[in-house]
A and B are shown apart, each in its own frame.
Chain A
């Protein structure tokens, strides 16, 4: 065996933000030709650490060594010069340009641009590692996974030897993720070093050679993947034993609460974003919605909540008291008052349900402030509600008058879901409830949802992680391109079947 050289070494790196210590003397080594996973809960300092490597932050203390030489990384350009390339979770591509144009964007060059040569170079790169990429294709024509490929080729083209990927599989189907892993293994065999940040333990075990674990900014340790298990890694991350089974009770007397018949929605450009969609949601049951990002999940929930105009079709609601309402004719606030609630966790976690600059009390008010005819606000009730949620859900916050934007992601989501549940809905729709959350916080949210289910609430959940959707939900509805491509019993289907349905071609596309 040849001696593997260290591609990068971090020694004793510390970074503080005011009083908060984001990284407390962290050690990290990545060898050449190795895939290293970094694991840690939310707020454990993974992203801060990677940002120091890619030149976005500057460490307060400690040393960074690249190939044995101590270096200073003051800017992203320094990082590039040292061969460090980061692929962010949110792509930074220009939509109207081609893949090749995006890849050379910002690179110095001669006066004349030889696009043919550039495309040839890119072809060489993609063939070497097994990427599937057409350099002349425009970004707006690409799927999420193709865009990700462009990002990866972009850093490779710039000569990166160390690639940092921040949650690369969050937006991919299982099939696409497998393809990505194959490419990453090729790169590893070619001597590149790869750091991958992910929450999915299965992927860590399947892909990486070693795992470094951080907890609350502190370096916990590095283990060989071959000696690790899901349980041992979780214990390192959380610092104690955690039960990883999601409890799933059988639905009790399911009754139809929501009936969607042949609903169609059209966007500004006249494209059908929901295409003749029909299904039912029952009480005491969790209906999961799976699909690649942007397949119409958001529009479906918005249509039910009255925030999206339906061109044709009918949405009926049958509450416990036996009455019948046609939601498709109602306004958003009326639908809410009937007990059909939605909480949507957008990518930035705040944009749609909470106001980042407002404190917990004022955010609680968002749902209830309109009640009553008094022109002035009642801050007492929401204040008590905020206190109750903080206590019941263990929200970590300095006080209830802290702006929610200052809380960590998990706590923000607890506040968001907690507020919806507090108002006793009959139908609760949640989209991406555990987006970006760590294990502990995710399980808190799953338990909250299960509690509601046992109370007889009809739940509709859009969830990205297929493993979770299979374990948590009772039925799974799969969407692609505005169509429903299948509804399956979650206890009987497999991940592969759902993955197939997610990419299944819909008959109208000829």
Chain B
């Protein structure tokens, strides 16, 4: 009797099953396959659009990012900035506070640095000036981060919108300041600040301009990962992020934790601003943050807040970004060509996490079918 209705029985062709565990090797193998696949897809996209050899373009990207020692150091400098911001965002995101206002916090930190370089450049020795710059930029970022936190804690405002709006306010303040700091007059840009005295610039160490950046960023990263993992405050952040009601029941002052954590997050992003202004560009404009505050969100989430993974992810993104500048000039391509490549690779990398968490099961051939 059942056979007559056999045709109706159809197991779905493919199903997904959640994996219990996956070995490290297997997970990394899946990620590697994803990168290779993405490069193939990129090649398919590149050939008809640009009529170039994809292998040459890939080579161009590599050479642009790490082709000579100057390029390597530029890439490292960019990596460090991105890493700092991602580290700064980590406590906020761990607390499930959607801080998309890193751009504004960076700008305010950068603004504080630029102001000190301009107004206090000759007032004190460089080492003291740098310390003052760090403190002031941290304070500026802190203020920019703490405002939405206070509103969130006391009035339950939506932090995503609030932090986003704060970005625009910061940009307008910079535009306003540029009017006073214009150099040369009428250029509507600030120009290189203290290009002669180099006051407030990060000094060269071992003959390299970016060693101080490296030291500062690594220090922040190490201190923050210890803070998040082993300190009582870091534990509180994790509890509040996972469940506010549990935190409340445990006697944690949720309001205080939200404000304190955002102060910290904003302060680190502010310091990132000073690293950009004092440690790299030596100028300020509305594009000083350059979208890094948003890119760092991808870095933080893709690496699941693991500091080592953050270094890898930032390195990859910077690599693609620096490579893109090179292929833009070398092949006369629009810079967006590289954005397409980055986009495709990211798509595959994020997508492959699905295959790390789930397993696909295909329909097996049934014995009944063979009998029929």
Interface pair B19/A352, CB less than 8 Å apart: no
Residues in A whose Cβ lies below 8 Å from that of B21: 18
Interface pair A70/B238, CB less than 8 Å apart: no
Known A-B contacts A72-B9, A74-B12; the reply to A19 vs B20 at CB < 8 A is yes
Is residue B15 within 8 Å, beta carbon to beta carbon, of the partner chain? yes
Enumerate B1-52 residues with CB–CB distance to A below 8 Å: 1-2, 5-6, 8-12, 15, 17-21
Is residue A358 within 8 Å, beta carbon to beta carbon, of the partner chain? yes
Interface pair B243/A68, CB less than 8 Å apart: no
Known A-B contacts A74-B12, A375-B232, A377-B231; the reply to A353 vs B251 at CB < 8 A is no
Residues in B whose Cβ lies below 8 Å from that of A369: 232, 235
Contact with B along A344-362 (1 / 0, CB 8 A): 1010001111111110001
Interface pair A350/B243, CB less than 8 Å apart: yes
Is residue B160 within 8 Å, beta carbon to beta carbon, of the partner chain? no
CA A82 – CA B11 in complex, angstroms?
17
Residue from B8, B15, B249 in contact with A352 in the complex, judged by beta carbons closer than 8 Å: B249
Rounded to whole Å, the gap between the CB of A224 and the closest CB of chain B is 27
Enumerate A298-348 residues with CB–CB distance to B below 8 Å: 307, 331-333, 336, 342, 344, 346
Interface pair B243/A355, CB less than 8 Å apart: yes
Rounded to whole Å, the gap between the CB of B75 and the closest CB of chain A is 35
Rounded to whole Å, the gap between the CB of A301 and the closest CB of chain B is 11
Interface pair B11/A362, CB less than 8 Å apart: no
Residues in B whose Cβ lies below 8 Å from that of A353: 246, 249
Interface pair B246/A352, CB less than 8 Å apart: yes
Known A-B contacts A369-B232, A377-B231; the reply to A69 vs B8 at CB < 8 A is yes
Is residue A367 within 8 Å, beta carbon to beta carbon, of the partner chain? yes
The number of residue pairs between A and B whose CB atoms lie closer than 8 Å in the complex comes to 87
Number of residues on chain B facing chain A (CB within 8 A)? 30
Rounded to whole Å, the gap between the CB of B48 and the closest CB of chain A is 39
Interface pair A358/B238, CB less than 8 Å apart: yes
Interface pair A366/B239, CB less than 8 Å apart: yes
Interface pair A70/B249, CB less than 8 Å apart: no
Residues in B whose Cβ lies below 8 Å from that of A344: 249
Enumerate B212-249 residues with CB–CB distance to A below 8 Å: 230-233, 235, 238-239, 242-243, 245-246, 248-249
Interface pair B246/A354, CB less than 8 Å apart: yes
Interface pair A69/B232, CB less than 8 Å apart: no
Is residue A58 within 8 Å, beta carbon to beta carbon, of the partner chain? yes
Is residue A401 within 8 Å, beta carbon to beta carbon, of the partner chain? no
Interface pair B250/A366, CB less than 8 Å apart: yes
Interface pair B232/A72, CB less than 8 Å apart: no
CA A362 – CA B229 in complex, angstroms?
11
Known A-B contacts A332-B251, A353-B249, A375-B232; the reply to A70 vs B243 at CB < 8 A is no
CA A18 – CA B17 in complex, angstroms?
8
Interface size class of A (residues with CB under 8 A): 35 or more
Most buried by B among A20, A333, A377: A377
Interface pair B243/A71, CB less than 8 Å apart: no
CA A322 – CA B150 in complex, angstroms?
42
CA A71 – CA B9 in complex, angstroms?
6
CA A374 – CA B230 in complex, angstroms?
11
Residues in A whose Cβ lies below 8 Å from that of B242: 355-358
CA A72 – CA B9 in complex, angstroms?
6
Known A-B contacts A18-B18, A355-B242, A357-B242; the reply to A70 vs B235 at CB < 8 A is no
Residues in B whose Cβ lies below 8 Å from that of A346: 245
Across the interface, name the chain B residue whose C-beta is closest to A355.
B242
CA A62 – CA B246 in complex, angstroms?
42
Interface pair A377/B243, CB less than 8 Å apart: no
CA A146 – CA B172 in complex, angstroms?
56
Enumerate B42-93 residues with CB–CB distance to A below 8 Å: none
CA A336 – CA B1 in complex, angstroms?
67
CA A365 – CA B236 in complex, angstroms?
11
Interface pair B230/A376, CB less than 8 Å apart: yes
Rounded to whole Å, the gap between the CB of A387 and the closest CB of chain B is 20
Known A-B contacts A17-B18, A58-B15, A369-B232; the reply to A69 vs B5 at CB < 8 A is yes
CA A275 – CA B80 in complex, angstroms?
59
Interface pair B235/A362, CB less than 8 Å apart: yes
Residue from B8, B19, B232, B249 in contact with A71 in the complex, judged by beta carbons closer than 8 Å: B8
Residues in B whose Cβ lies below 8 Å from that of A69: 2, 5, 8
Interface pair A365/B249, CB less than 8 Å apart: no
Is residue A408 within 8 Å, beta carbon to beta carbon, of the partner chain? no
Residues in B whose Cβ lies below 8 Å from that of A20: 20
Rounded to whole Å, the gap between the CB of B222 and the closest CB of chain A is 15
Enumerate A361-419 residues with CB–CB distance to B below 8 Å: 362, 365-367, 369-370, 374-377
CA A353 – CA B5 in complex, angstroms?
52
Known A-B contacts A355-B246, A358-B242, A376-B232; the reply to A370 vs B6 at CB < 8 A is no
Most buried by B among A17, A344, A375: A375
Contact with A along B246-264 (1 / 0, CB 8 A): 1011110000000000000
Rounded to whole Å, the gap between the CB of B298 and the closest CB of chain A is 22
Rounded to whole Å, the gap between the CB of A3 and the closest CB of chain B is 16
Interface pair A72/B231, CB less than 8 Å apart: no
Residues in A whose Cβ lies below 8 Å from that of B5: 69-70
Known A-B contacts A19-B20, A344-B249, A355-B242; the reply to A365 vs B12 at CB < 8 A is no
Residues in A whose Cβ lies below 8 Å from that of B230: 376-377
CA A332 – CA B246 in complex, angstroms?
13
Rounded to whole Å, the gap between the CB of A105 and the closest CB of chain B is 27
CA A369 – CA B243 in complex, angstroms?
17
Residue from A71, A332, A358, A375 in contact with B233 in the complex, judged by beta carbons closer than 8 Å: A375
Across the interface, name the chain A residue whose C-beta is closest to B359.
A18
Residues in A whose Cβ lies below 8 Å from that of B17: 17-18
CA A374 – CA B20 in complex, angstroms?
38
Residue from B10, B15, B250, B251 in contact with A72 in the complex, judged by beta carbons closer than 8 Å: B10
Rounded to whole Å, the gap between the CB of B136 and the closest CB of chain A is 26
CA A377 – CA B238 in complex, angstroms?
13
Across the interface, name the chain B residue whose C-beta is closest to A342.
B249
Across the interface, name the chain A residue whose C-beta is closest to B21.
A18
Interface pair A377/B251, CB less than 8 Å apart: no
CA A207 – CA B15 in complex, angstroms?
38
Most buried by B among A332, A362, A367: A332
Interface pair B239/A355, CB less than 8 Å apart: yes
Most buried by A among B12, B18, B233, B250: B250
Residues in B whose Cβ lies below 8 Å from that of A365: 235
Residues in A whose Cβ lies below 8 Å from that of B233: 375
Residues in A whose Cβ lies below 8 Å from that of B10: 72
Across the interface, name the chain B residue whose C-beta is closest to A68.
B1
Residues in A whose Cβ lies below 8 Å from that of B20: 17-20
**A-B CB contact pairs (8 Å), 8 listed:** A17-B17, A17-B18, A19-B20, A72-B9, A332-B248, A346-B245, A355-B246, A370-B232
Identify the 5 closest CB pairs spanning chains A and B, nearest first.
A18-B20, A333-B251, A355-B242, A366-B250, A332-B251
Binding site for A on B (CB under 8 A): 1-2, 5-6, 8-12, 15, 17-21, 230-233, 235, 238-239, 242-243, 245-246, 248-251
17 additional A-B residue pairs with CB within 8 Å, beyond A72-B9, A355-B238, A370-B232: A17-B17, A18-B18, A18-B19, A19-B20, A72-B8, A72-B10, A307-B249, A351-B245, A352-B243, A352-B245, A366-B239, A366-B250, A369-B235, A374-B232, A375-B232, A376-B231, A377-B231
